[in-house]
């Protein structure tokens, strides 16, 4: 009940309603708060003809009165007619709910008096007073009855009383401004709970207040409970009880109102009857609102789960980002090591070349210096004949040695600079451009079955993206098998959403599927569509289906979350006691098709349903409950056919463990037939079937079923002639 507390608080004072009155706009306000927010208007702007009270204003009259609404400069609170407020120099106050409240226009009580005057001692309402609703800001001119013209909300007062009584916590002081303290006494006359400090300040034991009786809070609670409920009386005739209901004015009235007042010509009904009628209407409205509240609670659970998923995904994504950046750093470090190795090799090569040249030049210089010193010593000799004997040889050696120091000998063989420049610009630019790409792989396309058809040996397929998908798609890939249940192969890659494939085999059954792709990768495949080409020489869409069989399995993508598949999606069971639906992974639109299902487990006499369904069938109810499925449900004794929750053709004969259920779908005649243990169960179940259908089944946890496909048509059945005009491609 804590959520209800705000409904029980006055929009002006922010406390629980006390003696609430109902304004014509149906909002409630405390009677004392209503007196505090009254605004006095000039006589010129309040003609007697426009005055009205709460009890005599219809919805239509109130719209006219609403044209006189008063607003402040910001249209956010109460205002006045220029300077006609009763106390213009006194600033307005704000209630706990933020509503601007003007002080009353009557003189304030003396300090020694009680802050809550006794009933009957309230000063009169000034003439030409106007009250503005604190919630919708509609204004209303009061008549001579003042606030007594508004009906009192006894129901709200009773709800507030019960709510306060239901609070088991200690009673709080009603006059503490901040952090109310625990009440110590209650005044029976004032009906107010006080703490010690507020009692001494607001309820001193002197003067008229000395005669008031103060009791403990618990006793005051009991006295409140024991106080009799006041009887609602007419606001026009205060001595008359409300006993009738005016339908036109939508308000309770008394007998005197019918005889003398304006309700005499209105339609009236008994108060009790209208009370029961409106209670019923409120209950119905609450049922709808309760459903919305349930949806809101489920939505909040979804949002809270989303918060948890966001946190989990955030941690996972952060770890992935760190791993990706670490991988980039590792790759950069490896490349750095490779580049450093190249620099070291270049460094060693340069040093080796220079050192070799230094060694070679040093040896040569030593030899040259030795020759020069020897020649100088020879020149010093004074023996001409001896000198001439060796001079020619020395001259040749000097020339040869000098020639060895020729061009290029004294030039460095290696440059000291490194002729390597790291081209880091593209990498830096790539790093600066490194960012997140908000793109995922596309969702599985939806085949537009109404536009898919075959004609002679050609097949036309059409598809589209799911309606709510906003993921960018760069193109599509269409795949077909070889017409003999072989491997799929790509037959089209492009941006178009419709494709016609020519050159197929006649009288062959092809399986087709399509997927989308974008820069992030390939998306999921669509559902597989089985299409059969025409027999040679027959008109378009004229299909001869004898001898052709279809192979398929249960489709995990279409199954309810409680469905459990095994045995290569051929065996199905369920985790729930409620019926859940699963469909086959192939759709049929032509030909004659037959498949069987065997009962592997059958406990507690459940009633599984077998049949065909549209792609958008409900998955959480029994097959055949909606208008998207055609089914037979069967228990251990009998069976029924069901479509759109209509049960027909009850037939004796049920199923048990080991039973076989056959389903025969003949598009040439547009009929659906069921068999149990190779015997036809009842008459033709459904007729005039056209369009695209999926094999389907619904079951609960008491049943396990195994699917058998690729079966020939039963011998007892003779296929009918195809009807080209009634076939759907």
531-557 pLDDT, tens digit per residue, is: 887 653 333 333 333 334 567 899 998
Give the Cα separation of 74 and 98 in Å (integer). Answer: 14
Which residue, among 571, 548, 558, 589, has the nearest Cα to 713 in the 3D structure? Answer: 548
pLDDT for residue 134? 86
The residue length of the chain stands at 729
Percent of the chain topping pLDDT 70: 80
Segment 138-154 mean pLDDT: 79
**At 619, is the pLDDT very low, low, confident or very high (cuts 50, 70, 90)?**
very high
Query: What is the rounded average pLDDT of the residues 204-208?
Result: 87
pLDDT range class, residue 613, cuts 50, 70, 90 = very high
Choose between 89 and 643: higher pLDDT. Answer: 643
pLDDT of residue 286: 87
pLDDT surpassing 80 at residue 655: yes
Q: What are the backbone angles phi and psi of residue 714, rounded to the nearest 5°?
A: -55, 150
**Which SS3 state, helix, strand or coil, does residue 193 take?**
strand
pTM for this model (two decimals): 0.36
Give, to the nearest 10 degrees, the angle between helix 271-379 and helix 384-404.
170
Q: CB neighbours of 28 closer than 8 A, spacing ≥ 6?
A: 10, 17, 20, 21, 22, 153, 156
Q: Rounded mean pLDDT of 256-268?
A: 79
pLDDT above 60: residue 1:
no
Q: How far, in Å, are 256, 307, 404 from residue 399 at the CA level? A: 153, 95, 9
Neighbours of 559 (CB within 10 A): 19
Distance, CA of 242 to CA of 86 (rounded, Å)? 36
Contacts of 189 (CB under 8 A, 6+ apart): 118, 212, 213
User: Is pLDDT of 110 > 50?
Assistant: no
pLDDT at residue 165 is higher than 80: no
pLDDT (0 to 100) of residue 169: 52
**Cβ proximity of 193 and 173 under 8 Å:** yes
CB distance 143 to 126 below 8 Å? no
Q: How far is CA 670 from the centre of its chain?
A: 41
Q: Which tokens is 247 given?
A: 């339908």
Q: How far apart, in whole angstroms, are the C-alpha atoms of residue 683 and residue 285?
A: 46
Q: How many CB atoms within 10 Å of residue 588?
A: 23
Query: Residue 18 class from Cβ within 10 Å (0-12 exposed, 13-18 middle, 19+ buried)?
Result: middle
Give pLDDT, residue 411.
Answer: 87
Is residue 564 a contact partner of residue 572, using CB atoms and an 8 Å limit?
A: yes
Shortest CA distance to 93 belongs to which of 107, 103, 83, 84? 103
Query: What per-residue confidence (pLDDT) applies to 40?
Result: 61
pLDDT of residue 626: 94
Q: What is the mean pLDDT of the chain?
A: 80
pLDDT of residue 136: 87
pLDDT value of position 356: 92
* pLDDT for position 597: 95
Distance CA 402, CA 62 (A): 127
**Average pLDDT of the segment spanning 654-672:** 92
Q: How confident is the model at residue 37 (pLDDT cuts 50, 70, 90)?
A: confident
Q: Which residue has the higher pLDDT, 286 or 457?
A: 286
Q: Name residue 708's beta-bridge partners.
A: 596
pLDDT at position 589: 76
Has residue 719 got a pLDDT over 80? Answer: no
Exposed, middle or buried: residue 492 (CB in 10 Å: 0-12, 13-18, 19+)? Answer: middle
Q: Is the pLDDT of residue 120 over 80?
A: no
What six digits make up the tokens of 134? 């604190």
For residue 263, the model assigns a pLDDT of 79
Q: Residue 549 has what pLDDT? A: 56
Give the contacts of 570 (CB within 8 A, at least 6 positions apart): 553, 554, 706, 707, 708
pLDDT at site 257: 82
Residue 364: alpha-carbon gap to chain centroid: 90
> Residue 581: pLDDT above 60?
yes
Q: In this structure, how many other beta carbons lie within 10 angstroms of the beta carbon of residue 285?
A: 10
Res. 651: pLDDT tops 90:
yes
Identify any residues that bridge with 464 across adjacent strands, giving them in sequence order.
446
Residues paired with residue 571 on neighbouring β-strands, in sequence order: 566, 706
Beta carbons within 8 Å of 353's beta carbon, 6+ residues apart? 413, 414
The Cα–Cα gap between 696 and 617 comes to 10
42-59 confidence digits (pLDDT tens): 554 443 333 444 444 443
Q: How many CB atoms lie within 10 A of CB 272?
A: 10
Average pLDDT over residues 701-711: 91
Reduced to 3 states, what is the DSSP secondary structure of residue 510? strand
Look at residue 123 and tell me whether its pLDDT is greater than 70.
no
Query: Distance (Å, rounded) from C-alpha 294 to C-alpha 292?
Result: 5
Per residue in 394-430, pLDDT (tens digit) is 899 999 988 888 777 888 888 888 888 888 889 899 8
151 compared with 370, residue with greater pLDDT: 370
Of 227-236, 347-356, 655-664, minimum mean pLDDT range? 227-236
CB atoms within 10 A of CB 263: 23
Angle between helices 154-166 and 217-226 (to 10 degrees): 140
Average pLDDT over residues 545-571: 81
pLDDT for res 221: 60
pLDDT band for position 485 (cuts 50, 70, 90): confident
Q: Are strands 592-602 and 703-708 parallel, antiparallel or unpaired?
A: antiparallel
Q: pLDDT digit string (tens) for 300-332?
A: 999 999 999 899 989 998 999 999 999 999 999
**How far is it, in rounded angstroms, from Cα 9 to Cα 2?**
12
Task: Give the lowest-confidence range in 124-133, 598-607, 608-617, 664-673.
Answer: 124-133
């Amino acid at each position: 009940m804590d959520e209800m507390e705000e409904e029980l608080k006055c929009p002006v004072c922010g406390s629980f309603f006390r003696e609430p009155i109902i304004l014509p706009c149906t909002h409630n306000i405390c009677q004392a708060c209503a007196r505090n927010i009254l605004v006095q208007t000039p006589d010129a702007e309040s003609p007697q003809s426009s005055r009205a009270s709460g009890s005599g204003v219809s919805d239509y009259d109130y719209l006219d009165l609403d044209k006189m609404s008063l607003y402040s400069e910001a249209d956010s609170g109460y205002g006045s007619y220029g300077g006609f407020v009763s106390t213009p120099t006194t600033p307005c106050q704000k209630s706990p709910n933020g509503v601007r409240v003007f002080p009353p226009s009557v003189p304030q009580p003396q300090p020694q008096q009680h802050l809550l005057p006794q009933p009957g001692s309230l000063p009169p309402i000034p003439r030409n007073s106007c009250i503005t609703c604190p919630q919708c800001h509609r204004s209303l001119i009061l008549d001579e009855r003042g606030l007594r013209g508004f009906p009192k909300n006894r129901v709200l007062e009773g709800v507030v009383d019960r709510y306060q009584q239901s609070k088991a916590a200690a009673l709080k002081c009603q006059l503490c401004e901040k952090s109310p303290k625990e009440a110590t006494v209650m005044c029976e006359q004032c009906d107010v709970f006080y703490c010690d400090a507020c009692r001494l300040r607001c309820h001193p034991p002197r003067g008229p207040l000395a005669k008031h009786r103060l009791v403990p809070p618990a006793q005051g609670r009991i006295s409140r409970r024991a106080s009799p409920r006041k009887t609602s009386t007419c606001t026009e005739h205060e001595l008359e009880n409300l006993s009738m209901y005016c339908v036109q004015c939508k308000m309770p009235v008394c007998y005197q109102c019918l005889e003398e007042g304006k309700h005499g010509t209105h339609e009236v009904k008994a108060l009790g009857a209208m009370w029961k009628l409106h209670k019923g209407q409120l209950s119905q409205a609450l049922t709808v609102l309760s459903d919305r509240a349930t949806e809101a609670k489920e939505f909040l659970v979804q949002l809270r789960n989303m918060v948890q998923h966001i946190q989990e995904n955030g941690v996972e994504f952060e770890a992935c980002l760190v791993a990706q950046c670490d991988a980039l750093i590792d790759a950069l470090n490896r490349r750095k090591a490779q580049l450093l190795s190249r620099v070291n090799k270049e460094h060693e090569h340069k040093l080796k070349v220079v050192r070799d040249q230094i060694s070679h030049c040093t040896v040569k210089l030593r030899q040259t210096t030795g020759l020069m010193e020897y020649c100088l010593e020879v020149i010093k000799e004074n023996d001409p004949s001896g000198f001439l004997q060796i001079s020619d040889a020395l001259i040749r050696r000097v020339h040869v040695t000098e020639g060895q120091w020729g061009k290029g000998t004294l030039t460095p063989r290696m440059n000291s600079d490194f002729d390597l420049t790291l081209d880091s610009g593209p990498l830096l630019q790539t790093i600066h451009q490194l960012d997140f790409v908000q793109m995922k792989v596309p969702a599985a396309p939806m085949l537009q079955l109404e536009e898919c058809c075959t004609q002679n040996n050609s097949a036309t397929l059409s598809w589209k993206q799911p309606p709510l998908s906003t993921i960018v798609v760069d193109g599509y890939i269409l795949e077909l098998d070889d017409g003999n249940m072989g491997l799929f192969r790509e037959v089209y890659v492009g941006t178009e959403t419709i494709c016609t494939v020519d050159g197929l085999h006649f009288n062959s059954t092809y399986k087709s599927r399509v997927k989308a792709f974008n820069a992030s990768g390939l998306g999921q495949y669509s559902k597989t569509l089985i299409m059969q080409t025409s027999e040679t020489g027959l008109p378009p869409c004229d299909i001869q289906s004898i001898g052709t069989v279809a192979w398929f399995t249960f489709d995990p993508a279409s199954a309810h979350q409680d469905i459990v598949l095994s045995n290569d999606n051929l065996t199905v069971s369920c985790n729930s006691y409620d019926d859940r639906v699963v469909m086959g992974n192939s759709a049929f639109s032509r030909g004659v098709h037959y498949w069987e299902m065997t009962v592997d487990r059958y406990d507690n006499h459940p009633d599984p349903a077998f049949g065909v369904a549209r792609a958008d069938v409900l998955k959480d109810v029994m097959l055949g409950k909606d208008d998207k499925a055609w089914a037979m449900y069967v228990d251990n004794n009998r069976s029924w056919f069901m479509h759109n929750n209509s049960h027909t053709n009850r037939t004796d004969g049920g199923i048990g463990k080991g039973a076989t259920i056959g389903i025969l779908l003949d598009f040439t005649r547009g009929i659906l037939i069921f068999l149990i243990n190779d015997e036809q169960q009842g008459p033709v179940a459904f007729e005039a079937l056209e369009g695209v259908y999926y094999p389907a089944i619904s079951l609960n946890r008491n049943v396990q079923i195994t699917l058998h496909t690729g079966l020939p048509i039963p011998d007892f059945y003779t296929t009918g002639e195809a009807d080209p005009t009634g076939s759907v491609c």
